[in-house]
């Protein structure tokens, strides 16, 4: 950290106390950039029997898909409607990234992927792609193609990793191991492709210490971005049933607990990793348990920043470089 004109500037080049995604894009593009979600009609190998059936126990994709994302609409129509939607909410944004979000967005032949990705990139205002997928759903052929695209536009692959512990991954029926996730992240990053990962905290069977130790594991992955989510029990999922049968197996974070937890986690996190999300936010109608009332993401970010300030701490303050 350096002090410029009495203002503390952190290693990521600004005065916010964590390496925030919005500032990262301002630095890259000099302006706000907005993601536009797409449901391109993919399915998921953990649902169709290729890797598993029934999907991850917490998954209900409807809870995360914006209303304009309907796979019956073309990619360009969803982008057009998504841009209109965001223009009404955030007049500031003039550039957009197409976010292939629903299910596993590399789960098709490379020729089909090329058509979909190119359609998105041809839309006015689209500066690049973010492709959400599973770590076991990416071939060398697809990565080679993405490497070529990444040389021409912003391109990130985001992997759902969720936990660094195989015992948990089995418990939530992820259908892949942490070693597979690590390999996918390393291969992707080695090709110069921006690589993101999602993690959930509060999964059954994980202690607070085990979750905090994930900060050290995550810090050693070659990640560009991370998204953190607190476990939310979503209606209509296998996890909702498990929760109803044995709630004592779950230790859902209260807001105060999560605030303490996320500060400790950020302190241990590699300062080079850009933090895109600190919490998940499913619409209240999807929540089987609403542990945090009406707290919204922007309020939560302010509260985390306030606490970082009060404690005079920041992302990476306790990060130890592993040799
Ligand atoms: S969370 Fe992702 S990988 Fe798991 S079942 Fe849902 S779509 Fe498939």
Atom of ligand 1 nearest to the CA of 55: 5
Q: Which of 105-109, 121-125, 218-222, 297-301 has the lowest mean pLDDT?
A: 297-301
Determine phi and psi for 52, rounding to 5 degrees. Answer: -175, 180
Mutate to test the pocket of ligand 1, among 40, 44, 133, 138 (most ligand atoms within 8 A of CB): 44
Handedness of CA 104, 106, 112, 116 (dihedral sign): positive
160 in ligand 1 pocket by Cβ < 6 Å? yes
Does the pLDDT at position 278 exceed 70? yes
Please report the pLDDT score of residue 71 as a whole number.
87
**Number of helices (H), then strands (E), in the chain:** 10, 9
Mutate to test the pocket of ligand 1, among 50, 59, 280 (most ligand atoms within 8 A of CB): 59
3 state SS of 322: coil
3 state SS of 161: strand
Residue with tokens 């360009």: 76
- Integer Cα distance of 248 and 253 in angstroms: 13
59 in ligand 1 pocket by Cβ < 6 Å? yes
pLDDT band at 91 (very low <50, low <70, confident <90, very high): low
pLDDT band at 226 (very low <50, low <70, confident <90, very high): very high
Determine the distance from the C-alpha atom of residue 300 to the mean position of all C-alpha atoms in its chain, rounded to a whole number. Answer: 16
51 in ligand 1 pocket by Cβ < 6 Å? no
Please report the pLDDT score of residue 145 as a whole number.
98
Nearest residue (by CA) to ligand 1, atom 8, is 44
User: What CA–CA distances, in Å, run from 224 to 21, 24, 28, 197, 264?
Assistant: 10, 10, 13, 9, 20
Looking at residue 109, the DSSP 8-state letter turns out to be -
135 Cα: distance to centroid of ligand 1 (angstroms): 11
Model confidence pLDDT, tens digit, residues 184-214: 999 999 999 999 999 999 999 999 999 999 9
Nearest residue (by CA) to ligand 1, atom 5, is 55
Is pTM beyond 0.75? Reply is yes
pLDDT band at 147 (very low <50, low <70, confident <90, very high): very high
Atom of ligand 1 nearest to the CA of 54: 5
Please report the pLDDT score of residue 217 as a whole number.
98
Looking at every residue in the chain, the average pLDDT score rounds to: 93
Q: Which of 48-57, 67-76, 130-139, 154-163 has the lowest mean pLDDT?
A: 67-76
Q: Are strands 2-4 and 7-9 parallel, antiparallel or unpaired?
A: antiparallel
- Integer Cα distance of 80 and 62 in angstroms: 20
132 in ligand 1 pocket by Cβ < 6 Å? no
- Integer Cα distance of 253 and 292 in angstroms: 9
Does the pLDDT at position 134 exceed 80? yes
Atom of ligand 1 nearest to the CA of 45: 8
3 state SS of 97: strand
Nearest residue (by CA) to ligand 1, atom 7, is 103
24 Cα: distance to centroid of ligand 1 (angstroms): 28
Portion of the chain with pLDDT greater than 70, in percent:
97
Nearest to 168 by CA among 125, 214, 133: 214
Q: DSSP for 24-86?
A: HHHHHHSS-EEEEEE--S---TTTBSSS-BS--TT--GGGTS-TT--TTS-HHHHHHHHHHHH
- Integer Cα distance of 112 and 99 in angstroms: 17
């Amino acid at each position: 950290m350096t002090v410029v004109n009495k203002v503390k500037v952190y290693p990521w080049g600004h005065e916010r106390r964590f390496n925030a995604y919005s500032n990262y894009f301002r630095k890259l593009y000099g302006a706000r950039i907005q993601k536009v979600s797409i449901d391109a009609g993919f399915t998921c190998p953990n649902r169709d029997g290729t890797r598993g059936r029934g999907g991850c126990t917490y998954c209900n994709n409807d809870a995360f898909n914006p209303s304009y994302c309907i796979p019956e609409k073309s990619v360009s129509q969803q982008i057009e409607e998504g841009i209109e939607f965001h223009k009404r909410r955030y007049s500031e944004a003039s550039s957009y990234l197409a976010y292939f979000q629903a299910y596993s967005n590399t789960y098709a032949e490379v020729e089909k992927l090329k058509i979909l990705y190119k359609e998105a990139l041809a839309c006015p205002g689209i500066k690049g792609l973010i492709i959400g997928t599973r770590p076991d759903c990416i071939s060398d052929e697809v990565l080679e193609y993405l490497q070529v695209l990444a040389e021409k536009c912003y391109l990130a692959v985001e992997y759902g990793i969720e936990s660094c512990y195989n015992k948990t991954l089995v418990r939530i029926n992820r259908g892949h191991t942490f070693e597979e996730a690590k390999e996918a992240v390393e291969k992707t990053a080695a090709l110069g492709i921006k690589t993101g990962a999602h993690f959930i905290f509060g999964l059954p069977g994980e202690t607070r210490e085990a979750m905090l130790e994930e900060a050290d594991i995550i810090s050693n992955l070659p990640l560009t971005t991370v998204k953190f989510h607190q476990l939310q029990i979503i209606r209509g999922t296998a996890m909702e049933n498990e929760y109803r049968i044995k709630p004592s197996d779950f230790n859902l974070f209260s807001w105060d607990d999560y605030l303490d937890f996320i500060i400790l986690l950020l302190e241990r996190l590699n300062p080079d990793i850009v933090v895109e999300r600190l919490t998940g936010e499913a619409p209240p109608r999807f929540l089987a348990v609403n542990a945090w009332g009406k707290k919204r993401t922007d309020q939560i970010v302010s509260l985390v920043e306030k606490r970082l300030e009060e404690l005079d701490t920041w992302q990476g303050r306790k990060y130890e470089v592993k040799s």
